[in-house]
A and B are shown apart, each in its own frame.
Chain A
Amino acid sequence: MLRSKQKPFEEILGYLEGDGRVFVLGCDGCAQASGTGGPVQIAEMKQKLEAGGKTVTGTDVIDFLCEKALVKSRLAPHTDEVMSADSVLVMTCGVGIQAVAASVNKQCHPGCDTQNLGGSRGEWQGSERCVECAECVLEWTGGICPLTACTKHLLSGQCGGASQGKCELAVEKDCGWELIYHRLKAIGKLDNLKRVPAAKSWSKKAPDVHILGTNHYALENPEMEEAKTE
């Protein structure tokens, strides 16, 4: 289970600047359990976006969004809604966002920050990985995580070590930043590469105060935890 937290709505609106039409996706797995991207939150997000002047072309909540094959088959009936949108807002962990970005030829905005594993990982088998940095940067990198795709987990772009599109560490490993480059080029966002990204706030990775110290226990005993916080 990957625990996620919704990004502040203003931050999401900032990402959607210039995008009038949005398709919103959630996940019935970890995001539902985290209370960030289940059916309830997706309905809420739709309302908030519409109140904010956006057109929501459609929504869906998929079980295990981390499974790319499932994403593609479940999105097939929504093809028109997705393709008529300017972008897709994904309210899940970083793996889900990357799985959607890899499946849809559209900018996929992260709606959540992934905080920690809170137990075991989701059921995905794909190449997308999330380090639960709690400050999702997928907005700027075309839905490919530089913290996991780049061997040096660089935020500002390629180092000088790539050769023929491969990482200097291992010839069989693609340079993560070249993958990001090609994705950004495909969605017309190469200018993102001119940003000077802020240093990461690793402190955000710490679990919420109310589960700090009893993380595992709390997740296994949610009703006791709720009683404690009330």
Chain B
Amino acid sequence: MSLRTDLESGKFAITAEIGPGKGTDITEIVEVAELLRGRVTAANVTDQQSSVMRLGSMVTCHLLHDHHLEPVLQMTCRDRNRIALQSDLLSAWVLGTENVLALTGDLPHLGDHKDAVPVYDLDSVQLLWVISRLNEGFDMMGNELAGKTNFFAGAVVNPGADTDASLDLQLYKMEAKIKAGAKFFQTQAVYEPDKFAKFMKRVEGFGVPVMAGVIPLKSVGMARFMNKNVSGVFVPEETIQKMAAAEDKTQTGLQLAAELMRDLKDLCQGLHIMPIGWEKKVPRLLDLAGF
């Protein structure tokens, strides 16, 4: 199984996200890789998530590859110009990574190096186009490569955009991303299957697989924080109350996520779990959800 063959053949795929730590200790990454192998189709590795400086995505993907867990390299446009982005893509390919998720990237202001210059020499749509060029055997200037890539490129979309203009903008950009070479989409976290079903109706015609984002809740505070601060994420009050009433918050959080996963399963082509620190609980979540 591979993410490409699963999604292209219409098989339901599950990915989980791994966030590398700050430093050179890779013990946890290896442990997580061993736990997730065989349970998920592939694992995304975040690229300096939330603009916090950490171990890199490329080397972490290489580690996963070594441990026989298929990696998805997340690549943002925040920290590198077009030369570095292209070079890193070639390097990642040589190190065994075949999937890339192209992102614009959070602003440095949100992370732990607030004074850093945001690069954004390219944006996510242009990066997808560049990946397509590398796959054809050329760099973005049209120079021929000695040995090309064959990346399976994906992108993100925010189905919970909270104004009509914003949702339209997300859909227009999704179309541009497909035109530029996106073969699959992973979404921002979804908590309302009904609303997500409406979104899926609107993107049905695009004919590109969509993997719904799932973030298991750890606490009431986390839900409230996301509602207030994370664009496109809305945890309904009913769900928050269930968390509030729970004695075992961990078990309830996982159960609620598992229920959600079962509800989302028939609406889309895959699921993307973002455990945010709960990487080791992903197998338990998958058990609860029946995957």
Please list the residues of chain A having a beta carbon within 8 angstroms of any beta carbon in chain B: 151-165, 168-169, 175, 177-178, 181-182, 190, 193-200, 202
Q: Which residues of B contact A169 (CB under 8 A)?
A: 107, 109
Residues of B114-131 whose CB lies within 8 A of A: 118, 120-126, 129-130
Please list the residues of chain B having a beta carbon within 8 angstroms of any beta carbon in chain A: 82, 104, 106-107, 109-110, 118, 120-126, 129-130, 140, 156-158, 161-163, 165-166, 168-170, 172-173, 175-176, 179-180, 188, 231-232
For A200, the closest partner residue in chain B by CB is B121
Contacts A156-B173, A157-B176, A163-B231 given; indicate if A178 touches B109 (C-beta within 8 A).
no
- What are 16 inter-chain pairs, A to B, with CB distance below 8 A? A152-B123, A157-B169, A158-B170, A160-B156, A160-B161, A160-B188, A162-B161, A162-B163, A163-B162, A163-B231, A164-B163, A165-B166, A178-B166, A195-B176, A196-B125, A202-B121
Q: A152-B107, A168-B107, A199-B122 are in contact. List 12 more A-B contacts (CB 8 A).
A: A154-B104, A155-B126, A156-B123, A156-B125, A157-B176, A161-B106, A162-B231, A178-B169, A182-B165, A194-B176, A196-B129, A197-B126
Contacts A155-B126, A199-B140 given; indicate if A165 touches B179 (C-beta within 8 A).
no
Q: Which residues of B contact A152 (CB under 8 A)?
A: 104, 107, 118, 120, 123
A168 to B107, CA, bound (A): 9
| Interface residue SS majority, chain A | loop
Q: Which residues of A contact B118 (CB under 8 A)?
A: 152
The listed residue (A165, A168, A194, A199) touching B172 by CB distance below 8 A is A194
Q: Which residues of A contact B158 (CB under 8 A)?
A: 160
For A165, the closest partner residue in chain B by CB is B163
Give B167 Cβ to nearest chain A Cβ, in Å.
10
Contacts A156-B173, A157-B169, A160-B156 given; indicate if A178 touches B126 (C-beta within 8 A).
no
Q: Which residues of B contact A161 (CB under 8 A)?
A: 106-107, 231
Contacts A178-B163, A181-B168 given; indicate if A158 touches B173 (C-beta within 8 A).
yes
Q: Which residues of B contact A194 (CB under 8 A)?
A: 172, 175-176, 179
Give B31 Cβ to nearest chain A Cβ, in Å.
30
Give A165 Cβ to nearest chain B Cβ, in Å.
5
For B164, the closest partner residue in chain A by CB is A181
Q: Which residues of B contact A190 (CB under 8 A)?
A: 168, 172
Is the Cβ of A157 less than 8 Å from the Cβ of B125? yes
A195 to B156, CA, bound (A): 17
Q: Which residues of A contact B179 (CB under 8 A)?
A: 194, 196
Is the Cβ of B109 less than 8 Å from the Cβ of A196? no
